[in-house]
Amino acid sequence: MAEITAQRVKELRERTGAGMMECKTALTEAKGDLAEAEVVLRKRGISSAGKKSSRATRQGLISSYIHPGGQLGVLIEVNCESDFVARTEDFQELVRDLAMHIAAADPKFIRKEEVDEATLAREKDIQKARAINEGKPEKVAEKIVEGRMAKFYEEVCLYEQPFVKESTMSVDQVIKTKIAKLGENISVARFVRFKVGETAAAETASAE
């Protein structure tokens, strides 16, 4: 067991933004292991963040990210509960990181609940046909579809995607960790991703 020194507590505080006593307790539980203590705090943070998820978010920021070269850009609105939190560096960093993530990961929806029925039905048909073509019986194919739909959500829904700066966490977990740190509900309201040439490509495809 590593010694739980004031310096170790301070380092954990700087990594997570949690309170001194919370950090000390987490380090004790993790037997002095910093990485494990951070996991402990994240789990607690995510748990406490869930209690704030129903609170209204009427403040926030609109921000943008333009990828070097000017060929790809994102405009995003992220909401919180107060103007005070919206002005904090932590919140502004989150908004910038989310914009950059969207540029890199190209999500089509914010949450999986927002995926429309037509898109869901089409994807389920594709995955079922794929499983049957692989020689799976129909009942087995249905179960395979359920598993593959989880992967589909992870690919197209922002909150389900692995965060580009920390792939061991989903975007949802990153947001909830920030909720725990700042003490307010935070939610992505909307985003638009622009890529040079996409409009022309879409017009060509619709004309064919």
* Residue 75: per-residue pLDDT: 98
Instruction: Look at residue 1 and tell me if it is in a domain.
Output: no
Are 126 and 28 within one domain? no
96 vs 201, residue with greater confidence: 96
Are 86 and 173 within one domain? yes
What total of structural domains would you count in the chain? 3
pLDDT at position 8 over 90: no
User: What is the mean predicted confidence (pLDDT) over 106-118?
Assistant: 94
9-23, 49-63, 85-99, 137-151 — which is least confidently predicted? 9-23
119-144: pLDDT as tens digits: 999 998 998 888 888 888 877 888 88
* Residue 58: per-residue pLDDT: 84
* Residue 208: per-residue pLDDT: 55
Share of residues in the chain with pLDDT > 70 (%): 87
Are 130 and 172 within one domain? no
Question: Domain containing 68 — which CATH number?
Answer: 3.30.479.20
Instruction: Look at residue 81 and tell me if it is in a domain.
Output: yes
* Residue 77: per-residue pLDDT: 98
Instruction: Show the domain range for 21.
Output: 6-50
Instruction: Look at residue 146 and tell me if it is in a domain.
Output: yes
Question: Domain containing 20 — which CATH number?
Answer: 1.10.8.10
Are 38 and 14 within one domain? yes
Band (pLDDT 50/70/90 cuts) for residue 205 is low
Band (pLDDT 50/70/90 cuts) for residue 162 is very high
* Residue 139: per-residue pLDDT: 79
Are 68 and 102 within one domain? yes
Are 132 and 95 within one domain? no
Instruction: Look at residue 187 and tell me if it is in a domain.
Output: yes
pTM of the complete model: 0.71
32-46, 95-109, 157-171, 194-208 — which is least confidently predicted? 194-208
26-69: pLDDT as tens digits: 888 888 888 888 888 777 765 566 566 667 778 999 999 999 99
* Residue 201: per-residue pLDDT: 60
* Residue 18: per-residue pLDDT: 67
Are 143 and 164 within one domain? no
Average pLDDT of every residue of the chain: 86
* Residue 9: per-residue pLDDT: 84
What is the rounded distance in angstroms from the CA atom of residue 178 to the CA atom of residue 39?
A: 14
Are 12 and 44 within one domain? yes
